[in-house]
């Protein structure tokens, strides 16, 4: 139960991240790098205060997986933040939250988890609900480039799924170790990209961005990722994927309340379907599930 609670808290936090991202007028790669640096420093301080030692041997044992996951994490943020810039929060959520479906569908093959008919139904219900809550109204144009935004969201979804699936292969790493090392790797990957590709100048940094960057790095990165990676160690990949749908529901509500993006009855119904899919996934429907699984 505690592991599920950790994931739920993390998802609710991630669902409101767009509020702070849109307040920071910096390139997505720069925001991602600053986010990773602040989160890493915070967790290093946390490990020192709590006297949690980081095992170098464990890091060596999981080096290539940590490299893959940390790289995917940093790249995932860049594409997600770009999606927020080029389309609405709701539309960015459409492609980004195909991630849970990707994880659930790949889990039988990569993690050897059975795909029961109960979980299959939950995937169908959740994806249907997701289509309903996302506003794809072509009349919402303004400064948006919806096709580009949705493309960035899809790439972010694939990278996010890579992070989740890779974490399931870690051996003997604590949640703190996994979170900290992945953040450090993401910093290492993002630094050359920002310096040699983005090439930001000092005049783009403004004092008004500092509070939002600090909040983004600590409250919206270090703490929720620590909860997320700690909680996922005791849960199946498919369960993690289902709980992940809490994020888009909260994101769409926030897009309506904070950014005044439309929230229709159809979207509300979609949110109910997504929550209902979690109920289907968590309750025993043995009368429908006998004899059906993908090994």
pLDDT in tens, 198-239: 888 888 888 888 998 999 999 988 999 888 888 887 887 767
* 3-class SS string, 239-283: HHHHHCCHHHHHHHHHHHHCCCCCCCHHHHHHHHHHHHHHHHHHC
Model pTM?
Answer: 0.72
Instruction: Give residue limits of the domains in the chain.
Output: 2-289
Mean per-residue pLDDT of the chain: 80
Q: What is the pLDDT of residues 234-264, one digit of tens each?
A: 887 767 777 877 877 777 777 777 767 666 6
Q: What is the pLDDT of residues 230-241, one digit of tens each?
A: 888 788 776 777
């Amino acid at each position: 139960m505690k592991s599920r609670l950790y994931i739920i808290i993390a998802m609710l936090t991630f669902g409101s991240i767009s509020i702070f991202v849109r307040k920071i007028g910096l390139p997505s790669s720069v925001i991602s790098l600053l986010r990773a640096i602040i989160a890493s420093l915070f967790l290093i301080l946390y490990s020192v205060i709590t006297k949690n030692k980081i095992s170098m041997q464990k890091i060596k044992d999981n080096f290539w997986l940590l490299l893959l996951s940390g790289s995917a994490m940093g790249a995932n943020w860049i594409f997600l933040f770009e999606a927020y810039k080029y389309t609405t929060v709701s539309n960015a959520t459409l492609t980004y939250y195909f991630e849970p479906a990707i994880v659930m569908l790949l889990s039988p093959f990569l993690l050897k988890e059975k795909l029961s008919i109960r979980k299959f139904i939950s995937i169908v219900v959740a994806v249907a609900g997701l289509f309903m809550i996302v506003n794809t109204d072509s009349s919402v144009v303004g400064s948006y480039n919806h096709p580009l935004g949705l493309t960035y969201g899809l790439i972010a979804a694939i990278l996010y799924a890579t992070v989740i699936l890779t974490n399931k292969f870690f051996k003997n790493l604590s949640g703190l170790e996994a979170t900290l090392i992945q953040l450090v790797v993401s910093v290492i990957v993002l630094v050359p990209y920002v310096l040699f590709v983005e090439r930001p100048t000092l005049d783009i940094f403004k004092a008004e961005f500092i509070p939002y960057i600090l909040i983004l790095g600590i409250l919206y990165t270090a703490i929720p990722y620590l909860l997320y990676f700690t909680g996922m160690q005791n849960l199946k990949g498919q369960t993690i994927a289902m709980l992940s749908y809490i994020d888009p529901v909260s994101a769409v509500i926030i897009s309506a309340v904070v950014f005044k993006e439309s929230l229709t009855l159809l979207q509300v119904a979609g949110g109910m379907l997504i929550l209902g899919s979690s109920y289907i996934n968590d309750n025993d429907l043995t009368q429908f599930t006998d004899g059906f699984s993908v090994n």
